[in-house]
């Protein structure tokens, strides 16, 4: 981690091992065409309930909305992603949206049931929990240690 300005990480965000946060370039550079010198540091702001995969590189000026998932190891986050909205999945170099409408389940009881179901049904690729739209928060967070 190399922080010269500011790093904000929202509640309950999870960060994979060997991830690196760098809110500065450390050195100033000049554009030889325009002769302008660019700012060398900007804060990093990570929303609540984000999930950042292992070995993710987070550069200066990155902003992640709440509930963002960085799904691929070795992703490089390079900008303000505020306009993507919640429940997006990012991946790649540089990172871009690779999925929408995806939310991490933090409910350990639901996770135990899902593991059991998929262990008993190895051919299954999806599971319908039988919940309504207005029950998604409860399903994803109920029984979580951070309600």
**CATH number for the domain that contains residue 61:** 2.160.10.10
| 1 domain-assigned | no
Question: Do 131 and 84 lie in a common domain?
Answer: no
Domain ranges, residue 53: 7-100
Question: Do 77 and 112 lie in a common domain?
Answer: no
| 35 domain-assigned | yes
Question: Do 67 and 135 lie in a common domain?
Answer: no
Question: Do 18 and 48 lie in a common domain?
Answer: yes
Three-state DSSP class for residue 22: strand
| 86 domain-assigned | yes
| 147 domain-assigned | no
Question: Do 136 and 72 lie in a common domain?
Answer: no
pTM of the model: 0.87
Question: Do 77 and 41 lie in a common domain?
Answer: yes
Confidence of residue 142 (pLDDT cuts 50, 70, 90): confident
The tokens describing 44, both together, are: 């990093």
Question: Do 94 and 136 lie in a common domain?
Answer: no
Confidence of residue 146 (pLDDT cuts 50, 70, 90): low
Output the pLDDT for position 75: 97
Question: With pLDDT > 70 as the criterion, what percentage of the chain qualifies?
Answer: 97
Confidence of residue 141 (pLDDT cuts 50, 70, 90): confident
Question: Do 87 and 23 lie in a common domain?
Answer: yes
User: Quick one: CA torsion of 64, 67, 72, 78, rounded to 10 degrees?
Assistant: 0
pLDDT in tens, 60-93: 999 999 999 999 889 999 999 999 999 999 999 9
Phi and psi for 26 in degrees, rounded to 5?
70, -40
Residue 73: other Cβ atoms inside 10 A: 14
| 54 domain-assigned | yes
Question: Do 112 and 50 lie in a common domain?
Answer: no
Q: How many structural domains is the chain composed of?
A: 2
pLDDT in tens, 84-136: 999 999 999 999 999 999 999 988 889 999 999 999 999 999 999 999 989 99
Write the CA distances from 78 to 8, 72, 93, 100, integer angstroms: 16, 15, 9, 19
Phi and psi for 95 in degrees, rounded to 5?
-65, 140
């Amino acid at each position: 981690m190399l922080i010269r300005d500011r790093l904000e990480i929202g509640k309950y965000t999870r960060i994979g091992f060997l991830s690196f946060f760098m809110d500065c370039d450390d050195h100033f550079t000049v554009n030889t065409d325009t002769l302008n010198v660019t700012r060398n540091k900007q804060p990093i702001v990570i929303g609540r309930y984000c999930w950042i995969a292992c070995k993710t590189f987070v550069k200066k000026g990155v902003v992640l909305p709440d509930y963002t998932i960085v799904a691929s190891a070795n992703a490089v986050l390079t900008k303000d992603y505020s306009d993507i909205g919640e429940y997006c999945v990012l991946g790649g170099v540089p990172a871009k949206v690779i999925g929408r409408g995806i939310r991490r389940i933090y409910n350990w009881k639901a996770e135990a049931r899902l593991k059991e179901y998929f262990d008993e049904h190895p051919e299954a690729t999806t599971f319908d929990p039988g919940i309504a739209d207005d029950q998604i928060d409860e399903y994803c967070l109920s029984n979580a240690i951070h309600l």
